[in-house]
Amino acid sequence: MTFTDFGRYDAVGLAELVRKRAVTPLELVDAAIERVEKVNPKLNALVTPMYDEARAVAKGGIPDGPFRGVPFVLKDLLAMYEGVTLTGGCRFYADWVPRYDSELVRRHREAGLIVIGKSNTPELGIVPVTEPELHGPTSTPWKQGHNSGGSSGGSAALVGARALPMAHGGDGGGSIRIPASCCGVFGLKPTRGRTPPGPDSSEQWRGFAIEHVITVSVRDSAAMLDATSAHDPRSRHYAPAPKRPFAEEVGKKVGKLKIAFTTHPFLPSKPHPDATRAVEDAAKLLEALGHRVEEATPKIDALQFAKDFVTIVATETAAGLVEAEQVVGRKAERHDFETATWLIAKLGGHISALELTLAERRIHAIARRTAAWFEDWDLLLTPTLALAPPLHYALQPKGAEALLHEAVAAARLTPLMRIPGVVDRMAEKIFDFIPWTPLANVTGQPSMSVPLWWNAEGLPVGAMLTARFGDEATLLRLAAQLEEARPWRDRRPPIDAEA
């Protein structure tokens, strides 16, 4: 094998080459570093290189796991790697160094993966585009200057550019599926509790958030889920055990599925026609593959859902800043955080226990009603996003609105947090981009973005399929069928490590 052969293989394939001794782990690491360095000046996707560490690991004793010797990138959020900074895209954490691995990273390393660096993420993963002030914006490999999505934007951009076959991500409101859509790759959010959040947390964002990977191939996602999804007794949630290894689902017969589809947004939004076209295209493909596809949608009060989701995220952000002070060892100041983060945290600090409890109860009610709705359907098909990858900073407030946000964020007076529309308008811009992804986070259901359609500008718009709680198996079987019917791996972006 020569270095130019790297892009021919997915992560499972690279590991097989190592097992056959057709290539060494060090050769794979060097090839991956070369590919990352080739595309990163245009993407700004890798923010913390770990090249010396990776080469040292490649030369030493690597655990004999399913991905032995395969290069890997960690998202610079949640994933603690002993001795390496974890910034979360945030100035306040810029110099913080974890003293031990998180449980998921420990499992990554036990699986034989070699981490070559950390990827870019929005500050604390709060917004769905990757453009933190600390590191700058990350572009999709399909068009420089258009955002890679977030919050796993750096990881998705590297996978989309074929610098690596697989990279770590996390999803609290769509943060695996959003960048997967923006970068034209495969992104699966597993069932709540499928992968471990520990050892310092029993859940993230009230159980909304879960970590997994972004991949080019479906089988890599399945094999990684097998490697990381063993029960962790420290976790608050644990998903139902699968009937068989997830990797065995890839290639299995799918059968005839009953699939509902809708373009009706679950959160306040006016989707672009691209979103409708992406779903119509996916629905036709699914019908051609023999599935029953009908228009139907769960009933959700979009405005109330938006308010309740913001309420919970805001209180989690406020609590996160308090914990950040304890971790870093000093008081957080306004200049340590971006305006949106500080504003959301201030809002969270002024939400009462009663308001939070009622919001949680309404969110739980949505989950119960959605679960009942799924008794009649195998899957739900929607667009992943309401539009193609936006230009950098397109979702940021501008002009007078930006000045008002800054004034409220800087103020010490509680009444200013009640200025009508300040937070509402900020949430509207976010949800106008992501009106579908958060539902699976609040219900805990597995959900995937599949790259099936590109618009007239050559930008990807993913199709999203969501299954019943615990049923990644159906998603993986169908994803493999779609991958075979329309091989997205053959479609290459302008920013390409192979070019």
Q: How confident is the model over 145-169, as a mean pLDDT?
A: 98
> In this prediction, what percent of the chain has a pLDDT beyond 90?
89
pLDDT tops 90 at residue 215: yes
- Are the C-beta atoms of 150 and 128 separated by less than 8 Å? yes
Can you give the pLDDT at residue 492?
A: 96
pLDDT tops 70 at residue 415: no
Can you give the pLDDT at residue 414?
A: 52
pLDDT one-digit tens code per residue, 102-154: 999 999 999 999 999 999 999 999 999 999 999 999 999 999 999 999 999 99
pLDDT one-digit tens code per residue, 45-79: 999 999 999 999 999 989 999 999 999 999 999 99
Can you say whether residue 251 is alpha, beta or left, with left for phi > 0 and alpha for psi between -120 and 50 degrees? left
Phi, psi at 370, each rounded to 5°: -65, -40
pLDDT tops 50 at residue 420: no
- Are the C-beta atoms of 237 and 207 separated by less than 8 Å? yes
Can you give the pLDDT at residue 382?
A: 98
pLDDT band at 400 (very low <50, low <70, confident <90, very high): confident
Question: Domains in the chain, please, with CATH?
Answer: 11-256+448-490 (3.90.1300.10)
- Are the C-beta atoms of 140 and 163 separated by less than 8 Å? no
pLDDT one-digit tens code per residue, 178-201: 999 999 999 999 999 999 999 999
CA distance 222 to 227: 9
- Are the C-beta atoms of 50 and 84 separated by less than 8 Å? yes
CA distance 228 to 474: 19
**Taking the chain, what is the end-to-end CA distance rounded to the nearest angstrom?**
18
- Are the C-beta atoms of 455 and 388 separated by less than 8 Å? yes
Nearest alpha-carbon partner for 366 in 420, 425, 312: 312
Can you give the pLDDT at residue 399?
A: 82
Q: How confident is the model over 418-444, as a mean pLDDT?
A: 82
CA distance 169 to 156: 8
- Are the C-beta atoms of 303 and 269 separated by less than 8 Å? no
Q: How confident is the model over 193-218, as a mean pLDDT?
A: 96
- Are the C-beta atoms of 191 and 178 separated by less than 8 Å? no
**Strand, helix or coil for residue 498:** coil
pLDDT tops 70 at residue 421: no
Nearest alpha-carbon partner for 11 in 165, 169, 188: 165
Highest mean pLDDT among 102-116, 334-348, 407-421: 102-116
Can you give the pLDDT at residue 423?
A: 60
| Amino acid making up residue 17 | L
Can you give the pLDDT at residue 15?
A: 98
Asked which of 30-44, 228-242, 467-481 is least confident by mean pLDDT, the reply is 228-242
> In this prediction, what percent of the chain has a pLDDT beyond 70?
96
Give the angle subtended at the CA of 147 by the CAs of 142 and 148, to the nearest 5°. Answer: 70
**Strand, helix or coil for residue 298:** coil
| Amino acid making up residue 465 | L
Can you give the pLDDT at residue 412?
A: 59
Please list the active-site residues: 75, 151, 175
pLDDT one-digit tens code per residue, 296-317: 999 999 999 999 999 999 999 9
pLDDT one-digit tens code per residue, 253-282: 999 999 999 999 999 999 999 999 999 999
Q: How confident is the model over 237-252, as a mean pLDDT?
A: 96
Can you give the pLDDT at residue 487?
A: 97
| Amino acid making up residue 362 | R
Can you give the pLDDT at residue 408?
A: 73
Asked which of 99-108, 236-245, 372-381, 421-430 is least confident by mean pLDDT, the reply is 421-430
Mean pLDDT of the chain: 94
pLDDT one-digit tens code per residue, 357-387: 999 999 999 999 999 999 999 999 999 999 9
Q: How far apart, in Å, are the Cα atoms of 223 and each of 62, 143, 247, 269? A: 18, 30, 5, 36
CA distance 217 to 208: 25
Nearest alpha-carbon partner for 219 in 462, 477, 468, 7: 477
